Amino acid sequence: MFWSTPKHLLFLPKYFPMKQKNLLLVIILVLGAFQLFSQVSFQKWIGSPQDEYVESMSYIYSDFLILTIHRGELAGSYPENFTNYSNVIYKSDFELSFSDSLFLDEIDDYDVLVKGFLKVDSQGLLFWAKAMHKNTQDEQLCLLWFDESLNLVNSLLLGSTDLMEIISDAIVRGNGNLLFVGSTSFEALEGNYILWEFDENINEEKKIIFEEVVAYMPTVIEIPGTDKFHLCAGFETFQFDSELNFETVFDFPATINIHPQNQNKLINDFEYLKLGLFLSAPVPGSPWEMDMAFVRMDENATVTESYTYGIADSIDTPGKFDFINTDTIFFAGTRNLSFNPVQDSWVSLFTTNLQGEILEHQFWGGDGQYGYSGLTALPYGGFLLGITRWDYLAFPDDRTRDVLLITENYGNPTTGLAQHFNNYDNMQVFPNPGNDMVYVNGAENSLYIRMMDIYSKLVLETGFNETANIDVSHLPVGIYIYEISSGNEIIKTGKWIKQ
């Protein structure tokens, strides 16, 4: 763990009396020690023989987190998302200790993909999901209620068999109603927009088919100060009144070189932030340079500020931003993700604010194909980050991703901890696949190795110096995740298969 004093405390004015200088230095050291000991970080790997990625992360209350993982085989088409993947839902605390879990595959004759948490109501924890009929491929909206132990309490399929309801976003209105938006087709340029509202008792209030061709699957945000809704779809923002009557359309400016993405979040009653991808015109013969971006929008969908984040000479694609307050905005994305050819990539996390200042930049990766997979801000300045990793060198023909979860520093607004897995490229864990012995070489002194099974259960831990000969004959055949650490820092991770 690295800690650094804020820069504005490092430089003392020349006119400070010596006693005051000494007193201030003591205060700095005390504050620094408090910050050092209150910083906390936890990590957990989730792996299985199948592909996995984080669909959603939700902070419920206290230290109660819900994570939804989709697990299955890599899908080649939209309908295959339903047939190939199942839902694994975990209940966790800030230390990533899982207390409950649930496997969910279908409701009645429908395959379901759980999308996200909506609210707590009288029936329990309310989630929404997409549901597709096993035979007809009719898609409907599905609502699911769980108790705090993740037992399924109730489920409800909503929709008609003569209309496709492809839901892409959902919000809880200020009055407690639920508003869902989407399209009548999963094919681009074939459907019309859906706006679908239910009261707190899940009675349908309105279902609007807005007859504009859907080019981008929409998201929606409520503007409390004007009592309007913005239906955001690519470069177009459609404005509706509180009764879901269409009013006007706004065009996103093409002159700022930012391509709007599918995330919005309110910063006050009249303004919101929108996710974006900044495209920089290339030098002739060079590829386009891409940076993560977000823009500040007013109630008329006018861009008032724009901010970009990235590393020079790299491709930085946005994932998501999140915040509790705008003094600490977490912004995650992926750097240098490439499939032709496949190469190492990283997940970046910028800590910033509404002025666009970079308070901190962290990154994870360098020993496989890492990708952004989920982010949520936690109370007291912390975050929960989801990352996928494909070990393409060991498993080039089997694109199955594992999930790395990270919670960090939920007691302070910023932290200096960073993981650079690629600093130990010479370290080898072999043979892989293997049988009764695992060997590690190219290491430092005083390291520790831990191995977990696919359910994140610890099955082995031992210390070693420089090299290790580890007897794993007692472990059953299967897939394991290993972590090698130096002190409190995890320096290498990976997947190991016992044959």
212-217 average pLDDT score: 94
The radius of gyration of the chain from alpha carbons, rounded to an integer in Å, stands at 24
378 and 471 within one domain: no
How far, in Å, CA of 306 to CA of 233, rounded?
19
Assigned domain for 30 exists: yes
Which CATH number characterizes residue 160's domain?
2.130.10.10
The answer to whether 352 and 329 are in contact (CB under 8 A) is yes
Assigned domain for 154 exists: yes
Q: Above 60 in pLDDT, residue 25? A: no
Assigned domain for 411 exists: yes
370 and 410 within one domain: yes
* pLDDT value, residue 283: 66
Assigned domain for 21 exists: yes
The tens digit of pLDDT for each residue in 382-436 reads 999 999 999 998 888 888 999 999 998 655 433 333 333 344 556 788 898 889 9
Per-residue DSSP letter, 149: T
251-264 average pLDDT score: 94
Find tokens 């969908």 and name the residue.
301
Domain membership of residue 437 as a residue range: 428-498
65-71 average pLDDT score: 96
> What are residue 93's phi and psi, to 5 degrees?
-105, -175
Q: What percent of the chain has pLDDT over 70?
A: 85
* pLDDT value, residue 468: 87
38-63 average pLDDT score: 87
How far, in Å, CA of 376 to CA of 407, rounded?
10
Other residues' Cβ atoms within 10 Å of the Cβ of residue 417:
17
Q: Where are the alpha helices (DSSP H) in 303-402?
A: none
382 and 326 within one domain: yes
Assigned domain for 326 exists: yes
466 and 436 within one domain: yes
432-441 average pLDDT score: 88
Q: Above 50 in pLDDT, residue 496? A: yes
* pLDDT value, residue 338: 87
408 and 393 within one domain: yes
Structure tokens at 296: 């500040």
Find tokens 């929108």 and name the residue.
274
How far, in Å, CA of 45 to CA of 430, rounded?
20
190 and 73 within one domain: yes
453 and 314 within one domain: no
412 and 309 within one domain: yes
Assigned domain for 1 exists: no
489 and 409 within one domain: no
485 and 389 within one domain: no
Specify the pTM: 0.78
Assigned domain for 422 exists: no
481 and 378 within one domain: no
How far, in Å, CA of 228 to CA of 79, rounded?
34
95 and 183 within one domain: yes
The tens digit of pLDDT for each residue in 160-197 reads 989 999 999 999 998 999 999 999 998 878 899 999 99
The tens digit of pLDDT for each residue in 306-359 reads 999 998 888 999 999 999 889 999 999 999 998 888 999 999 999 999 999 999
22 three-class SS = helix
Q: Above 60 in pLDDT, residue 39? A: no
* pLDDT value, residue 187: 85
Q: Is the peptide bond before 284 cis (omega within 30 degrees of 0)?
A: no
Which CATH number characterizes residue 483's domain?
2.60.40.1220
- How many structural domains are present in the chain? 3
pLDDT band at 16 (very low <50, low <70, confident <90, very high): very low
Assigned domain for 2 exists: no
Instruction: Report the b/e string of 332-363 with b at 16+ CB within 10 A.
Output: bbbbbbeeeeeebbbbbbbbbbbeeeeebebb
Q: Which amino acid is at 393?
A: L
* pLDDT value, residue 429: 86
Q: Above 90 in pLDDT, residue 223? A: yes
